[in-house]
Amino acid sequence: MTQRPYHIETMISAKAIAARIEDLAKEIRQAYRDTDKIVVVGLLRGSFVFIADLVRELEMNVEVDFLEASSYGSGTESSREVKILKDLRGPIEGRDVLVVEDIVDTGHTLSAVLKLLQSRNPRKLETIALLDKPARREVDLKATWTGFEIPDAFVVGYGIDFAQANRNLPFIGSVVFDDEVPEAGGKA
Ligand code: PRP
């Protein structure tokens, strides 16, 4: 299948992301101030850039682990099957955990991951999402910390892909298809 031609417009610059991460890191340090070491869990694959920048701003003792989940089914189903493709390497029982997600869309992925991790009895379980698309939510859930709330646009970059491309863009961009013409008859 040939790819529809598209271009990418900057939605959130690399500078704005870095500034927001600095602020978020301060809040997280404060929230985990009574913790010797936190377990930072990145959800693959989209969070790999965000988690790398975040942990370097945290300036605390962190253990880094990863989990990969994949959800199946159409976005309109109220319950989707979320499969764990790669589980954590380490135990989290009694530990202070921070789950790092690139984007919360319908909320199914994060909801299923939290349910799984909660069943392992961590001492503390919080979440951070760089992006939040509240307009798409199907599960009542909000990350403890959110970088940016965004509209229901098709976003890429900073870890997020479009057909497995563009994850390496240093900013968040929105995909604009070149054959999409503005609606005719718009109000003057
Ligand atoms: C994306 C994103 C989140 C999830 C959010 O992952 O990274 O994990 O979807 O969607 P939801 O809130 O509707 O569940 P994706 O399955 O595309 O995998 P990837 O991270 O490997 O790109």
Q: Enter the tokens of residue 149.
A: 């709330």
Q: Are 115 and 132 in contact (CB under 8 A)?
A: no
Domain tally, the chain: 1
| Best residue among 80, 105, 161 to mutate for probing ligand 1, ranked by most atoms within 8 Å of CB | 105
Q: Enter the tokens of residue 106.
A: 């319908």
- Bridge partners, residue 146, by sequence: 129
Indicate the pLDDT class of residue 184, thresholds 50, 70 and 90. low
Question: 74: domain CATH number?
Answer: 3.40.50.2020
- Bridge partners, residue 134, by sequence: none
* Catalytic choice (105, 140, 152, 179): 105
Q: Enter the tokens of residue 39.
A: 């377990």
Question: Containing domain of residue 79, as a range?
Answer: 14-156
Asked if residue 58 is part of any domain, the answer here is yes
Indicate the pLDDT class of residue 105, thresholds 50, 70 and 90. very high
According to the model, what pLDDT value does residue 145 have?
A: 98
Q: Helices 14-31 and 48-58, interaxial angle, to 10°?
A: 60
Q: What is the pLDDT of residues 15-51, one digit of tens each?
A: 999 999 999 999 999 999 999 999 999 999 999 999 9
Asked if residue 177 is part of any domain, the answer here is no
Of all protein residues, whose CA lies closest to atom 13 belonging to ligand 1?
106
In residues, how long is the chain? Answer: 188
Asked if residue 2 is part of any domain, the answer here is no
